[in-house]
Structure 1
Amino acid sequence: MDARPAPFVPPAPRPRTRPPSALEMMRIVYRNPLELWGEPSYNEPWISVNGVGGPLVIANDPGLVRHVLVDNAKNYRMATVRQKILRPILRDGLLTAEGEVWRRSRKAMAPVFTPRHIFGFAQPMLKRALEFVERYEDGAVTDLAADMTMLTYEILAETLFSGEIAGSKETFSQDIDRLLETMGRVDPLDLLRAPDWLPRLTRIRGRKTMAYFRGIVSDTMALREDRLKRDPDGAPQDFLTLLLKAEGPDGLTRAEVEDNIITFIGAGHETTARALGWTLYCLAEAPWEREPIEREIDAVLAGEPDPAKWLEAMPLTRAAFDEALRLYPPAPSINREPIEPEHYKDLYIPPKAAVLVMPWVIHRHRKLWDKPDAFLPERFHPGNREKIDRFQYLPFGAGPRVCIGAAFAMQEAMIALAVLMSRFRFETTADTRPWPVQKLTTQPQGGLPMRVTRR
């Protein structure tokens, strides 16, 4: 008889059994959009309805997802509602830019994220992770969500900015939370597609935090520009320098350089931080999954000194991280609008429809996954992951706008998990009751208080 415990089912909203009223829907969307979706969303290949703000298409079928994001991507632009949320924060950063601005930005950043450069980031990633883990005391309780925000910030600062970011590290995680709390939510007026001149009260409170972040970026750029003037050949050839060098008549404008820096400071590390926190939480609640991963990490660290090779050498660790990305996708919603109306099979996609490709729903879809709500890393073990359709698993998106930093994030996550789990074990406490909330990312409401025990 199999003595293996029943799989751990981590917290998530139950699918709704009845549609909400218009007022209720706006309240849910503001508070936590993950609580909006009903049983049909988790069972049907697609849903087409008239929503509060107009036509709405929920795309779950992998073929339809591929059609929207890849095969006919030229017919789809970023959705109006999504842009209203993100553009006040990121402006013309890579996540929000469109058309020629997006093409210039993507071209300017591509050299930073080649495999050669990413492998070169491995040692600085390891250095920062080793320094970070020294802060833990045996038996202490810590908020792992805040810790992972700080760790990924320090890795980002070291790798892409060579440690030269202005501002205070001590308050950074709180500032990020405050920014996403105030400006990273859907405002009811956005849902109604109200005109831009109507003030969004939900974002007025975020202006001070936004100004703070803009100040960090401006000061960071000034520090590097001064160094480039003093010693052009001695300045590090990292993300910051490459972007500044891309500034000019045929490249990026000054404002676009600033927007892309703030995109990576504010969003580039936030997604990895959340995924690391959810991974360690799920493993704490499923120790039978954690134990073989600890053995794998111990063996790799004892025999492979090059951290750039750890991603390929640790398939069980990667599988657990991939499964946490499935259950808690950092970017839970991908929003598009058709430029021209069209048909996909028997589905009509009308003009100005909000087309939602939602990793949160697709990753838990009853027709695509066995035991979709359970934490089962074995789905991603070698031999199993190859059976997963490319367009039913979208932690980094897909198509031309696929996340440019996906390989960077995967390497960073494996190095961080290896260092953390080789030295410590993280256990839940009576106060560990996370609830997934969608802001810009899938965040654990209430944080992740966990006890740290030296192995």
Structure 2
Amino acid sequence: MANADRPDRFEPPAPQPRPVPLSRLAIIRTVLRNPLELWGVPSYTLPWIETRFFGRSTLIVNDPDLIRRVLVENTGNYRMDEVRQLVLRPILRDGLLTAEGGVWKRSRKAMAPVFTPRHAQGFARQMLEKSEEFAERYATEASVGMVRDIAVDMTELTYLILSETLFSGEIATDSGDIAGDVDALLETMGRIDPLDLLAAPQWMPRLRRIGGYRVLRKFRALVRTTMEVRKAAMTRDPQAAPRDFLTLLLEIEGPKGLTSAEIEDNILTFVGAGHETTARALSWALYCLAKCPDIRERVETEIDAVVESGADPVDWLERMPLVRAAFEETLRLYPPAPSINRQAVADDCFEAADGTVLDIRKGTTILIMPWTLHRHELYWDEPRVFDPSRFLPENRDRIDRFQYLPFGAGPRVCIGATFALQEAVIALAVLMRLYRFDVTEETRPWPVQKLTTQPQGGLPMRVMMRPARR
């Protein structure tokens, strides 16, 4: 585990816990600017905090047993939080992240076959090919050392992988600036508006989001065109259509499956957000490894050994435990989804391990914060230090299942978790086998919560050819 004498002991940039509470006005300003800067010392030191936020009873939850209670044992008592839905539903409508009740159950059941571990492993070759294709972009300039915005590059890479694996490369698009479109969508539509904090009705216009509707319309038009093209191909020759995520969804359109609108919402969810979470984590991982050269060198050695052995990419996830551990440690420090929000439907009661009894009243807002949980002093040794060894096979049993939530937990756990881990390991292996990613004087990332945990202003890094091994 982390050791103060280790030469590469690195604390990635993050807001320090606030020693004193903010005023009401300061809370509003901070939530609108960057919610990650809101949390005080108690959020990083106590198992839970009972408070009131804009007139609502709010419970901030860090205790793993209480998290299990909310997300698994009594999940039926905790619906999606109203404020969260006010932010996300205008974008995703009845996509998998925002749907509830019967719509969510139908959507989850429809997509489950695509994202089983066995099926996800079948995407490994395509992930490898797209990663290698993307890596060729660096070949010419890397010999002299080029500075790239890695946050943008990783968004483009994961979009290429998603397009090829889930849509057989057939996403209709008239723009090569997918990263810019996604960023514009999240910058405008993916942030809390003052009216959301006041729980104003959804029909009231959010001024912060007006500029995002153009990009949202563009994404929805892209999805509809993609659906129409595939439907036409399925009509001409059902056997010739690719057996991918898109075809699977379109095949269950109808009274017993999903409506056309629900299919559109789910495709938009994956196109607009499905690759974004992995992209952000990849860019943070390359940054953290650049700041820890000893760890990076060991990662490179592991990659070289596995690739040179001729191992099938489907096995890389298991054959590269240090690469995987570095990515999972990045997910700990920079969880792509930094908050999980619920609301109590009815009263509930929880008894902690020490006998403390907590009464949860109907209507209470539940905030499970991977951002604070993953940096919590009760559950992690040197929680602010980048230390991939936490996630090596011999140490994993020290981590409680509900202490680490990069993909959530319970029935609504991220359906693409295995897909994302495999994609990340393959992408890192391809890129780091060929290139070195180093910080520059301009590399001063600061984490900001939009819909995901993003580096404010991008993440410029110098990309150079890897030096020959000694």
Q: Same fold (TM over 0.5)?
A: yes
1:332-353 residue CA offsets vs partner (Å, 9 max, x unmatched): 0000001102121222212211
Q: Residue 53 of structure 1 contacts residue 191 of structure 1 at CA under 8 Å; is this kept in 2?
A: no
The answer to whether the Cα contact below 8 Å between 2:349 and 2:360 also exists between their aligned partners in 1 is yes
Summarize the alignment of residues 226-305 of structure 1 with structure 2, pairs less than 5 Å apart. 226-305=232-311
C-alpha distance after superposition, 1:172-198 (max 9, x if no partner): 100000000000001111112123333
Task: Report Cα offsets for 1:268-312 as digits up to 9, x if no partner.
Answer: 100000010000000001111101100000000001331000000
State the alpha-carbon separation in 2 of the partners of residues 21 and 350 from structure 1.
25
For 1:90-101, what aligned pairs fall within 5 Å after superposition? 90-101=92-103
Q: 2:89, 2:199 → 1: CA distance? A: 15
2:194 — aligned with what?
188
- Equivalent in the alignment of 1:52: 54
Deviation at residue 53 of structure 1 after TM alignment: 4.0
Does structure 2 retain, via aligned residues, the 8 Å contact 1:332–1:359? yes
Matched positions, count: 455
For 2:391, the equivalent position in structure 1 comes to 380
What is the CA–CA distance in structure 2 between the aligned matches of 1:446 and 1:430, rounded to whole Å? Answer: 14
Are the equivalent residues in 1 in contact too, given 2:8–2:292 (CA < 8 A)? no
Q: How far apart in 2 are the matches of 1:111 and 1:352? A: 35
Return the TM-score normalized by structure 2: 0.95
- 1:183-225 per-position Cα deviation (integer Å, ceiling 9, x unaligned): 0001111112123333211111111111011011011101111
Secondary structure of the 2:425 match is: helix
CA distance in structure 2 between the aligned counterparts of 1:26 and 1:245, rounded to whole angstroms? 46
Q: Within the alignment, does 1:448 sit opposite 2:450 as a pair?
A: no
Contact 2:8–2:293 (CA<8 Å) still a contact in 1?
no
CA distances 1:126-174 after superposition (whole Å, capped 9, x unpaired)? 1100000000121111000000000000000000000000113521100
Between the aligned partners of 2:202 and 2:125, the Cα distance in structure 1 is 46
Aligned to 1:415, which of 426, 435, 438?
426
CA apart distance, 1:233: 0.4
Q: Specify the alignment match of 1:79 in structure 2.
A: 81
* Secondary structure of 2:201 counterpart: coil
Cα distance, 1:3 vs structure 2: 6.7
Structure 2 Cα separation of the partners of residues 353 and 192 of structure 1: 15
The one-letter code sitting in structure 2 at the alignment partner of 1:399 is G
Gaps of 5+ in 1: none
Paired residue secondary structure (1:343): strand
Helix, strand or coil: the match of 1:14?
A: coil
- In 2, distance between residues paired with 1:371 and 1:135? 38
Would the aligned equivalents of 2:88 and 2:190 in 1 still touch at CA under 8 Å?
Answer: yes
Partner of 2:354 in structure 1? none
Q: 1:113 is matched by which residue type in structure 2?
A: F
CA apart distance, 1:2: 9.6
Asked if structure 2 preserves the Cα contact closer than 8 Å seen for 1:433 and 1:446, the reply is no
Q: 1:381-396 to 2 correspondence within 5 Å?
A: 381-396=392-407
Q: Which amino acid aligns with 2:218?
A: Y
1:109-128, aligned counterparts within 5 Å?
109-128=111-130
Deviations 1:78-110 (A, max 9, x none): 000110111011100000000000000001001
**How high is the TM-score relative to the length of structure 1?**
0.98
Question: Is the contact made by 1:53 and 1:193 (CA closer than 8 Å) also made in structure 2?
Answer: no
Pairing 1:338-377 to 2, within 5 Å after superposition: 338-345=344-351, 346-377=357-388
Say which is worse superposed, 423-432 or 338-347, in terms of deviation.
Answer: 338-347
Q: How does 1:152-191 map to 2 (within 5 A)?
A: 152-168=158-174, 170-191=176-197
Q: Tell me the equivalent position of 1:37.
A: 39
1:18 CA displacement = 1.4
Match of 2:212 among 206, 213, 216: 206
Query: 2:341 aligns to what SS in structure 1?
Result: strand
Match of 1:105 among 97, 100, 107: 107
Q: CA deviation at 1:4?
A: 3.1
Percent sequence identity over matched residues? 64
Whole-angstrom distance in 1 between the partners of 2:198 and 2:377:
31
**Does structure 1 residue 313 correspond to structure 2 residue 336?**
no
Q: Compute the displacement of 1:354 (Å).
A: 1.1
Partners of 2:195 and 2:362 lie apart in 1 by 21
Describe the SS at the equivalent of 2:393.
coil
Cα offset, 1:23, TM superposition: 1.5
Partner Cα separation in structure 2 for residue 408 and residue 429 of structure 1:
32
Letter in 2 for 1:257: I
Tell me how far 1:383 sits from its aligned partner. 1.1
Contact 1:15–1:39 at 8 Å: present in 2 too?
yes
Give the equivalent residue in structure 2 for 1:329: 335
Distance 1:433 1:231 in 2: 53
How has the CA–CA distance of structure 1 residues 169 and 314 changed in structure 2, closer, same or farther, with 3 Å as cutoff? farther
Amino acid at match of 2:258: L
Distance in 2 separating the partners of 1:338 and 1:3: 46
Compare 172-181 and 190-199 and name the one that shifted more.
190-199
